[in-house]
Chains A and B, each alone.
Chain A
Amino acid sequence: MIELRNINKTFGDRHVVKDVSFKFQEGKTNLIIGESGCGKTTIMKLMVGLHEVDSGDVIFDGANFPKLDRKEKQEIRKKIGMLFQGGALFDSQTLEENVSFPLDMFTELSKAEKQDRVNFCLQRVKLEGKNKLYPAELSGGMKKRAALARAMANNPRYLFCDEPNSGLDPKTSIIIDELISDITQEYNITTIVITHDMNSVIEIGQNIMFVHKGENWWTGDKTEILGTKNKELFDFVFASEFMKSFFKKD
């Protein structure tokens, strides 16, 4: 289980994350949503230790992550899979090598076992047969799927996804959302997704935190969000004409 307790972060004189607390539900797709620049990505980076918290606790299975030493942090990180906004695939490696990388580093699997696992992961994200391609040869959607395959290669307990469908067409976005949702359920992973895409919220949002100006402004699920009376959340959810015409009954 992951829990945030009163975390704060400032960059210079900008207070970017303000006293945020939230419990992420195990085995569910948890969403952090909000406008661009509201602090979503910073919260995720604080959670995985890419930034240091100024104050507050990030609890992974009872352990306070920021207070752990480097080795203990590495042990927790081995349980984390992360899908970055740009994919962050290693340019110098083929797709197969990218997916196999965490297995090479952390497991003692035989070559054949690793190959099986790589093929399974690539098949799972519908990239079978693309093993020998380099990231530069992939489209945006394929890169995201490949990064998802790498994130799930080592059977993570936690899956972090930073804007998984940014820059993708609506059809590919839905494929990515479905993959994330399916993988979460199939392997009982705790997934944390950062997004500002309302389609994703409605598709996969089981536990949602709305961040506004660095604060946890609202929490709920995808059914509650559509009936919200919270002004800032309402403005965010129904910003587009499509959302207004499709979901607003009055």
Chain B
Amino acid sequence: MNPFFHIGRYFMLMFRVFSRPQKVSIYWRQIIHEINSIGISSLPIIAIISIFMGGIITIQAAFGFTSPLVPLYAVGFTTRESIMLEFSPTVVCLILAGKVGSNIASEIGAMRITEQIDALDIMGINSAGYLIFPKIAASIIIFPFLIALSMFLGIWGGYAMGVSSGATTEYQYVFGIQAFFEPWKLYYSFTKVLVFAFIITSVSSYYGYYTTGGALEVGKSSTSAVVYSSILILLFSLILTNLFFQR
């Protein structure tokens, strides 16, 4: 189908999503529910992946830095930069696109094919706003916390595995993760996270909301949601990197 059709329909849906809520208290309740559903339930996978990736990056960096010209603290520095700039904001968000995005698309898609969304519309409720706005708001609230946790655990994982395997020393690693720290890079990382949180929830909701047919189509919507969210995450990662890293 024509991509302009999807882009136009996506923006029209977003216009409905961000129209004035019918009852703010109900939306708040939904946002709290979604924070739990989207955020808290993602904690275990984020923790496991971050710890292991931190360890892997540290060990690989230590293995690669054989030249005596490279200082020993470069291992900690490399781990911090990799985790803070790319792994936590981008790779973890790609993982969340798979977990959260498919969940959102299939949940809303199933509601569509079982006429639950029609039921909301007939009651006079703005179904797009009621279903999608709390998910977007919840993800924008909770994703920065998840990614901050991922950064912390990634760097901690690098320390634990790097030191225990002998790839680096405690002093060199701790010195490395503090070396040449530039706070604006955190703004860059968290700007990316906010953009990606919006992309994951809105694109997945879009595919779920416009599901037609049956169970097979719900599966297809879920797949499309993950694929297009991931592509958009990479595209916007490139755009934001170009914007932030201009000399």
Partners in one complex: yes
Please give the residue numbers on chain A whose beta carbons come within 8 Å of chain B beta carbons, in ascending order. 48-50, 73-78, 80, 82, 84-86, 88-91, 101-102, 104-106, 154, 160
Can you list 28 A-B contacts (CB < 8 A)? A48-B122, A50-B118, A74-B125, A75-B124, A76-B124, A77-B122, A78-B124, A80-B124, A82-B119, A84-B119, A85-B115, A86-B114, A86-B115, A88-B114, A88-B115, A88-B116, A88-B118, A89-B116, A90-B116, A91-B111, A91-B114, A91-B116, A101-B123, A102-B123, A104-B23, A104-B26, A105-B123, A160-B122
**What CA separation (Å) do A63 and B162 show in the bound complex?**
73
Residue in contact with B23 in the complex, picked from A84, A91, A105, CB distance below 8 Å: A105
Tell me the smallest distance from the CB of A142 to a CB of chain B, in Å: 16
Bin chain B's interface residue count: 10 to 19
CA distance A49 to B118 in the complex (A): 10
Please determine whether A77 and B124 come into contact, CB atoms closer than 8 angstroms. Answer: yes
Partner of A50, one of B122, B125, B126: B122
- Using a Cβ cutoff of 8 Å, how many contacts connect chains A and B? 54
A interface majority secondary structure: mixed
With an 8 A cutoff between CB atoms, is B121 at the interface? yes
Chain B min CB distance to A41 (Å): 11
Cross-chain contact of B123 among A50, A78, A85, A89 (Cβ < 8 A)? A78
Name the residue on A nearest B126 (C-beta).
A74
| A77–B118 touching, CB < 8 Å | no
Chain A residues with CB under 8 A of B26: 104-105
Instruction: Give Cα distance in the complex from A115 to B111, angstroms.
Output: 26
Contact A84 B125, CB 8 Å, known A104-B26, A105-B22, A105-B26: no
Contacts of A105 in B (CB 8 A): 22-23, 26, 123, 125
Other than the known A76-B124, A82-B119, A91-B111, what 18 A-B pairs have Cβ atoms closer than 8 Å?
A50-B122, A75-B124, A78-B123, A78-B124, A80-B122, A80-B123, A80-B124, A82-B122, A85-B115, A88-B116, A88-B118, A88-B119, A90-B116, A91-B114, A102-B123, A104-B26, A105-B23, A106-B124
Chain B residues with CB under 8 Å of A82's CB are: 119, 122
